[in-house]
Structure formats: C-alpha cells, structure tokens
Amino acid sequence: MVDHESRIQKRNKDSIMNAALEIFSMYGFRGATVDLIANACGLSKPNLLYYYQTKEQIHIELLSQLMDSWLAPLREIDENGDPFSEIMGYVSRKLHMSKTLPRESRLFANEIIQGAPRINHVLQNDLKTLVDEKALVIQKWIDEGLIAKVHPHHLIFSIWSLTQHYADFDVQVQAVLVNEDPFENAESYLETLFSKLLTI
C-alpha cells in the first residue's frame, strides 16, 4: 500500500480524470467547477479533493497526462521514411485523433485560446523543440527536392489547424453539414489539399 495504488485509488483517480476532461474541455479552467467535476464522476467534492488537493492540480495533472499522447503523432514522423507518406500519415493520425478524442482536442484548445497560463512553459520547451526538429526534417526533404518548397513551420501549423478544426469547432461544422459525417469528406479533402501542396 506504500509504493502502489490500491484498486480503489486507481478507479477513483481514473474516474476523476475522465470527469475532469469532460468538464474542463467544455468550460475551460475558470468556467469549470470542482462541484461539476465531482458530480460528473459521482463523488462528493471533499472526496474528490482527497485524491487531488486543488482544482488547479487536477487541471495540470490532466494536461500533462495527455500532452505526450497529443504530441505523439508528430514524433512519429520519420526522417528516413518517404516524405509524402510521412506527412500524409501525420495528417491522417491527427485527423483520427480529432475524430476519436475530441474532448482532448477541446481541452488543449481552451487552454491555448485562454492564453495557456498553465502550459506555456511546455509550449516554449518541449513543443518548440519538437516542432523545430521536425521542421528541419521537412526542410531537408525540400532541399533534397523530394517535396515542394513550403514554409515548414507553417506547414505544421496548417496540419494542426485543419485537423483539429473538426473537433474544436464541431458544433459549427455540424450546423452547416446537417446530415453529413464531416470526417468522411474531410479525409479525402485534406489528402487532396496536402498532396497538391507538396507535389513539386
């Protein structure tokens, strides 16, 4: 009971993180309340605070638990692979994450739109390092004449914005595409877009 979590602890912590994801992704940090999270996972507020001492701690814990898996698709880009399939694979993985993990996408979107007060340092260190590294790989591919000349950083931004849009702005997309599955046509639209963009 000293160096590992009990079954109860694991179950409750997982349940709290799931509820926190639900609430924080819907309302942002300031708009979320501990009571809302507690209700969402069926615990009393003091019981929840027995596992995580403050609202901010829950939020930080949640963000850092998700950060790695959020950046994983970018990490997977292999400089020794085929440039086209590497980039298209990244687009495809990001789009798939928007489809299967929309709450996570909105959690990060809320945090960043609201100024990222709790993950600014992660953006400036881990994220910047990773992006700069992959931008160099893209630049190398350009220099080798394997893909068209595009601004590497903006290429990455455009992949983020285009794929995450379907999760973050889901309500708007759904309002316009009433009886259509957005992701069905998004996949082929983005394939065309990046294919044309990167072809020399």
Partner DNA sequence: CTTTAGTTTTACCAGTTGGTAAAATATAAA
Partner DNA sequence: TTTATATTTTACCAACTGGTAAAACTAAAG
Residues that bind DNA (CB under 7 A): 1-2, 6-9, 12, 32-36, 43-47, 49-50, 53-56
Among 11, 75, 161, 181, binds a second copy (CB under 8 A): 161
Nearer to DNA, 43 or 147 (CB): 43
Task: Return the structure tokens found at 190.
Answer: 């983005």
7 forms part of the interface with a second copy (CB under 8 A): no
Query: Per CB under 8 A, does 115 bind a second copy?
Result: yes
Q: Does 171 bind a second copy (CB under 8 A)?
A: yes
Q: What is the 3-state secondary structure (H, E, C) of 81-122?
A: CCHHHHHHHHHHHHHHHHHHCHHHHHHHHHHHHCCCCCCHHH
Supply the DSSP string of the chain, one letter for each residue. Answer: --SS--HHHHHHHHHHHHHHHHHHHHHHHHH--HHHHHHHTT--HHHHHHHSSSHHHHHHHHHHHHHHHHHHHHHT--TTS-HHHHHHHHHHHHHHHHHH-HHHHHHHHHHHHTT-TTTHHHIIIIIHHHHHHHHHHHHHHHHTTSS----HHHHHHHHHHHHHHHHHTHHHHHHHSTTS-HHHHHHHHHHHHHHHHH--
Binding mask 65-104 for a second copy (x = CB under 8 A): ----------------------------------------
Residue 160 interaction partner, one of a second copy, DNA, none, beta carbon < 5-8 Å per kind: a second copy
Stretch that binds a second copy, among 13-21, 46-54, 72-80, 105-113 (CB under 8 A): 105-113
- Partner touching 54 among DNA, a second copy, none, CB below 5 to 8 Å by kind: DNA
> Which are the contacts of 149, defined by CB distance < 8 A and separation ≥ 6?
142
**Options 28, 49, 92, 146; binder of a second copy; rule CB under 8 A:** 28
Stretch that binds a second copy, among 6-14, 56-64, 72-80, 169-177 (CB under 8 A): 169-177
Binding site for a second copy (CB under 8 A): 26-32, 106, 109-110, 112-116, 120, 123-124, 127-128, 131-132, 148, 150-151, 153-155, 157-158, 160-162, 164-166, 168-169, 171-173, 175-178, 185-186, 188-189, 192-193, 196-197, 199
